[in-house]
Structure 1
């Protein structure tokens, strides 16, 4: 309790420390089970895999904290267009955290901070597309993604044409708003 009053964080034990990049620093962590930890850094969330793997904040579509478990939904690249990537959600993964500390709050803040302009647009033949700009730590500019509603065929030439227009409009709007 006294450490929290003075802003000090629990030190990450060496056995949990992933191989960090030169300018990467640990922000928060929490044990997952007996021999693993989730580690939040300024670059992303290190998952307790073998070998450890980091999800960049821009790669996390959703993270929710139930009070006992942190549920993380990552996105994977499923295709690309000019100046954007098409993403889709991977299955959610839950991490039970007995002593979460500041990890859930840090994850929420970092994921939220990574999201830039985001708009959902109906498509002419049904369904829709969400155009999202994300901020990537260590990279200038915005990273543009498109997430289609279920049932939309991203290979349909009409869908691709409309998507390119939507992304171009969103990019132009983001530049004007800068």
Structure 2
């Protein structure tokens, strides 16, 4: 056993284009899941920036990552090390604000402001309740007005 644990292979580090590695775990099928300061790199070569991760869940054989656009990734990992904690911290760190606003008596929209790691850029995500059509011009106009009020009240 190495004194300071396992090291990430040089070819994997090279593929990360200089991103600072925070934690990693080997996948039984080969490759590594690598958490960097700005993204989660999956064994298949996918790069998932932290501000796009909606949810990460773990079970006894690995993790499921769901993105804000509905993408789902499954990664088998037998020994996750610090990867679960790192993923949780990075996703939470990306969230600047999270507010819910009712647009009708029955439904509303959740506004989530996310920081893009390594930049000063904030992106707003709108998650409409079931029953609200986010592509409807009237609903969209009401949501944009509510978002402007939320942004002013939070100074974001």
Tell whether the structures are fold-level matches, with TM greater than 0.5: yes
Per-residue CA shift, 1:60-79, capped at 9, x if unaligned?
00112234322211122xxx
Asked if the contact 2:63–2:77 (Cα under 8 Å) also holds between the matched residues in 1, the reply is yes
Unpaired runs of 5+ residues, structure 2, are: none
CA distance in 1 between partners of 2:5 and 2:114 (Å): 28
1:54 corresponds in structure 2 to: 47
CA distance in 2 between partners of 1:103 and 1:67 (Å): 14
Which contiguous aligned blocks of 4+ residues in structure 1 show a shift greater than 3 angstroms? 15-18
Task: Establish whether residue 13 from structure 1 lines up as the match of residue 9 from structure 2.
Answer: yes
Pairwise CA distance, 1:34: 2.8
Q: Secondary structure at the match of 1:64?
A: strand
Task: Establish whether residue 104 from structure 1 lines up as the match of residue 84 from structure 2.
Answer: yes
CA RMSD of aligned residues (A): 2.2
CA distance in 2 between partners of 1:114 and 1:9 (Å): 28
Per-residue CA shift, 1:45-103, capped at 9, x if unaligned?
01222xx1211100000112234322211122xxxxxxxxxxxx23x333221111111
Asked if the contact 2:42–2:75 (Cα under 8 Å) also holds between the matched residues in 1, the reply is no
Q: Secondary structure at the match of 2:89?
A: helix
1:30 corresponds in structure 2 to: 25
CA distance in 1 between partners of 2:142 and 2:35 (Å): 37
Pairwise CA distance, 1:19: 2.2
Unpaired runs of 5+ residues, structure 1, are: 77-88
2:58 corresponds in structure 1 to: 65
Pairwise CA distance, 1:145: 1.3
* 1:63-142 matches, cutoff 5 A: 63-76=56-69, 89-90=70-71, 92-124=72-104, 126-142=106-122
Q: Secondary structure at the match of 2:125?
A: strand
Asked if the contact 1:58–1:135 (Cα under 8 Å) also holds between the matched residues in 2, the reply is yes
CA distance in 2 between partners of 1:18 and 1:34 (Å): 20
